[in-house]
């Protein structure tokens, strides 16, 4: 039943933790800090994947390189 960790889930957990902290004090501060770090890590990973996708899109848009074939024996004798 392990669901994927997403930005949305972490944001909801962070908001819930913040709500409880405002009501009950800083007892949950370590959990709040951990959720903030986890959220930043997920966002960073998503940004990295997005940058990689953009790079590949620009790479595909380039004209293909000239491909040279290996010389044959006939060409080598000329």
pLDDT tens digits for range 32-73: 999 999 999 999 999 999 999 998 888 877 777 766 677 676
What are the tens digits of pLDDT across the range 7-29? 999 999 999 999 999 999 999 99
Residue 1 pLDDT exceeds 90: no
- CB contact at 8 A, 55 and 66: no
Could you tell me the pTM of the whole model?
0.65
- CB contact at 8 A, 38 and 6: no
């Amino acid at each position: 039943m392990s669901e994927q960790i997403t930005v949305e889930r972490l944001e909801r957990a962070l908001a819930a933790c913040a709500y409880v902290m405002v009501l009950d004090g800083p007892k949950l501060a370590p959990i709040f800090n951990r959720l903030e770090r986890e959220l930043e890590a997920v966002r960073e990973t998503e940004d990295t994947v997005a940058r990689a996708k953009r790079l590949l899109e620009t790479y595909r848009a380039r004209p293909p390189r000239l491909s040279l074939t290996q010389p044959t024996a006939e060409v080598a004798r000329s």
